[in-house]
A and B are shown apart, each in its own frame.
Chain A
Amino acid sequence: MMKGSELWVMINSNDRITTPQATVVVINFILGTGILTLPRTVAEQVKTPDVWLSVILGGIIAMIAGVIMVKLSQHFPEKTFYQYSQEIVGKWMGKLFSFFIIGYFLVLGGFHARSLAEVTGYLLLEGTPKWAIIMPFMWASLYLIRGGINPIARLFEIILPITVILFLLVAFMSIKIFEVDNLRPVLGSGITPVLKGIRTTALAFTGPEFMLLILAFMKEPNKAVKAVLVGTAIPLLLYVITVVMVIGAFSVDGVVTRTWPTLDLIRSYELTGLIFERFDSLLLVVWIMQMFTSFTVNHYAASLGLSQLFKKNIHPFMYGVLPVIYLISMVPRNINDVFKLGDMVGNAALILFGFLPVLLLIISKIKGKKYETSL
């Protein structure tokens, strides 16, 4: 079916990743801006201390969406969404969908870069211009993704344990200012407020969509369901710990006014007697690493999409999308615009990865049956 000249578009058989690596990539992609803002965004919606229930339900929804995406991709082994979508809905529609998804990754990448610049620009590197923060970040990402999916996965494997250990450490040290009364009563106003928060929390789990692309690189694609479930469950756990500790310290009334509540949690306590007294830089370090991993995935996914659509070598696209992402990151004029951009990306994710895969899965099943009956 494939012409010889198109062979290079196919995935290099050496550049494959194991199931744990795929899991790690999904985890790293999910953890991003959300971990700093989630307690506020969800508390704004729920308004009761039951936010952690919303987080769990949102995570479950993300898992379901992830499994659907995996099932869809498993129908087309060795192919990414960019390639097989054209087989399902035809060349033009498939290309259109692919362009939307490439656009999504570009905008999300811009959003990640900008959030990073906002937080570090105010709380870590005051006075440093945004471009000086974003550009080295982008160049490092370029350097990494030039090697393909394998180096990406290996770097993520190093970053993830550091993140989890340091994050849990700093989160649990806030026990000093934790008040269990702030988390009570459980379901005091019934289940309705909890449901109001689900949309917000489900969007904090955007990340399983990378399964649409990464499945083609997996050594054992049949284990992809496991990868996406574990890959969503670990961020779910970290998110629940985050909202419980933040709400426990600040109460629901206090958290809605904080721009970056998780960071404020770490800024709100000091432990004397240890080598360090303050741990906010520790959190910022792991958070910046997480932003880097999320950004890298966006950068890679967008470049991969363009190269597969135009059937050209991926390297020029890796360079080419950088200025685009940079310009997108500079579009929001103020912090409210940044958050609005985040909401916009979330809504796009809802359509592109909530509804579209279901639709495509149904179409491909029907088509598959037709094919069988016609035989």
Chain B
Amino acid sequence: MRQASNHVRFFLSVLLSVFLLVPLAGCWSSHEIEERSLGVGMALDKANKSMTEKEFDEQEEYPKRNLITSTYQLITPQVASSTTVQGGSQQKAYVNMAETGDSIHQMTRELSLRRETSIASQHLKVIIIGEALARTYSLGKLVNEFLRDNEIRPSCLVLISKGRASDGLESKTAGEIPAFRLAGMVENAYRTTRILPPTSLIKLESNIESGTSFLLQNVLSANGEIKFAGAAIIKGKTNKMIGFLNEEELDGLTWITGKGKGGLVKSFDKKTGQLIVYEIESMKSHIEPHVKGNSISFNVHIESEGRLSENWVVSGNPLENQFLHKVQKNSEKKVKHLVRNTVEKMQKEYKVDVAGFGNQLRIKRPRVWMRVKDNWDQTFSEVPINYDVKLMIKDYGTSGSRK
């Protein structure tokens, strides 16, 4: 009797072990990484079929509306192995494929009809949206699929391209991957005031959901090279793009928000007309809303510390405080000019608040904000804004020379 139960126990435990082996191995519906293409970048444009696609469609066409062309930047197993073997030779390190259609997700799946390796999007770094597309469709619709996807991470960056977005995914440098180049450039914000804080998919969603207007970094491309230049304005009500801030205006905007991490202020000495450069070490801005009855106004206090980093004024002696003071005043004037320029552009031309004035009103006067938030962009365009700028030159680098 006892022995029989021992046998049963033994049998049961063997059975259980076998059952457990199946799920615990963890290779249920696994896909080998060597057999997948990594999607690292994506560009969305207004429909413009590639030559290959046109030829395919002449022979046989799947019923779909041709509204959007999405370009996928892939690192395929073949490309990856050939570039590593030859030590990053003259070959391109990526493959771009274009697909035209109406649904973002369907276009992605169409790739499985054209390649043996399926696409894996866990490493998608950037999504560039072309100007023409961003002006016609709400961003909420364009990124809808990305926000639901289980592979695409919410940390993926979103950029706007003046001109065709797919050009931003081209490079002529061997071994360079354009999507990584774009993602890396965002990290340079400590060197210039003309790079916006990065907007990832998740931050984009917060902006879209909040209904306020916001900015996205704009990228230009020419001859396989790219440049960050200004920012695209997205109107909160429609979530469509309505225009651009140029580079100078973006500079001014960074001063208003105080979110810059570094950069330069170039101004010219009044008397000699010679060049003076102030390098920003830190930047702070304080937007203060004032409400009296129904009238709202803002005071912007901008403060910055930095150094004199270039001086062409022969008579100027940085060892004297008097001169440093003069440089400060000069640079302050320049910053004020930048700020005024940007405020005018926002209020007069586009009638949108993309500098976070509304956000400060929401924080400091929540009840007033509740009243005005539905029509804030319109209200904002007529609100008086005062600003003062205080720059402080702490040092002049390793040289006190006047020449």
Which residues of A line the B interface, CB within 8 A?
122-123, 125-128, 132-133, 135-136, 139, 177, 181-182, 184-185, 188-189, 249-251, 253-254, 256-257, 264, 267-270, 278
Contact = CB atoms under 8 A, between A and B. Distances in A.
A267 B155 contact: yes
A131 B126 CA distance: 36
A185 B203 contact: no
A249 B202 contact: yes
B201 to A, nearest CB: 8
A188 B367 CA distance: 7
B370 A251 contact: no
Given A139-B20, A189-B370, A254-B210, A268 B363 contact: no
Interface string B9-49: 00000001001101110101100000000000000000000
A268 B155 contact: yes
B22 to A, nearest CB: 8
B205 A254 contact: yes
A250 to B, nearest CB: 5
Interface of B is mostly: helix
Nearest to A143: B16
A136 B154 contact: no
Interface string B116-158: 0000000000000000000000000000000100100111000
A250 B202 contact: yes
B359 A181 contact: yes
B362 interface: yes
B382 interface: no
Q: How large is the interface on B (under 10, 10 to 19, 20 to 34, 35 or more residues)?
A: 20 to 34
Contact of B29 (A123, A127, A188, A256): A127
Contact of B206 (A132, A133, A250): A250
B200 A177 contact: yes
Contact of A127 (B28, B154, B362): B28
Nearest to A121: B150
Given A181-B359, A181-B363, A185-B366, A254 B202 contact: yes
Contacts of B16: 139
Of A135, A188, A257, the most chain B CB neighbours within 10 A belong to A188
A135 B16 CA distance: 12
16 contacts: A122-B150, A132-B22, A135-B23, A136-B20, A139-B16, A139-B20, A185-B363, A188-B363, A189-B367, A253-B209, A254-B210, A257-B205, A264-B154, A268-B153, A268-B154, A268-B155
B359 to A, nearest CB: 6
A257 B210 CA distance: 11
A366 B370 CA distance: 53
A189 B205 CA distance: 24
B206 A254 contact: yes
Nearest to B209: A253
A136 B23 contact: yes
A109 B19 CA distance: 22
Contacts of A184: 363
A136 B205 contact: no
A249 B209 CA distance: 14
Contacts of B19: 139
B200 A128 contact: no
A251 B23 contact: no
The 4 closest A-B pairs by CB, nearest first: A127-B29, A254-B206, A188-B366, A253-B209
Contact of B202 (A136, A139, A268): A268
Nearest to B356: A181
A132 B205 CA distance: 34
A251 B200 contact: no
Interface in B366-403: 366-367, 370
B29 A128 contact: yes
Contacts of B203: 177, 254
B20 A254 contact: no
B364 interface: yes
A34 B29 CA distance: 29
Nearest to B154: A268
Nearest to A125: B28
B200 A256 contact: no
A139 B24 CA distance: 12
Given A122-B150, A181-B359, A249-B202, A132 B28 contact: yes
Contacts of A182: 206
Contacts of A185: 362-364, 366
Contacts of B362: 185, 188
A264 B202 contact: yes
A251 B210 contact: yes
Contacts of A256: 209
A257 B207 CA distance: 12
B373 to A, nearest CB: 11
B153 A132 contact: no
A201 B39 CA distance: 40
B209 A257 contact: yes
A30 B116 CA distance: 47
Given A185-B366, A189-B367, A267-B153, 7 more contacts: A122-B150, A132-B23, A135-B23, A139-B20, A188-B363, A254-B205, A264-B154
B118 to A, nearest CB: 12
Of A139, A249, A268, the most chain B CB neighbours within 10 A belong to A268
B155 A270 contact: yes
B342 to A, nearest CB: 20
Contacts of B205: 250, 254, 257
A189 B370 CA distance: 9
B153 A128 contact: no
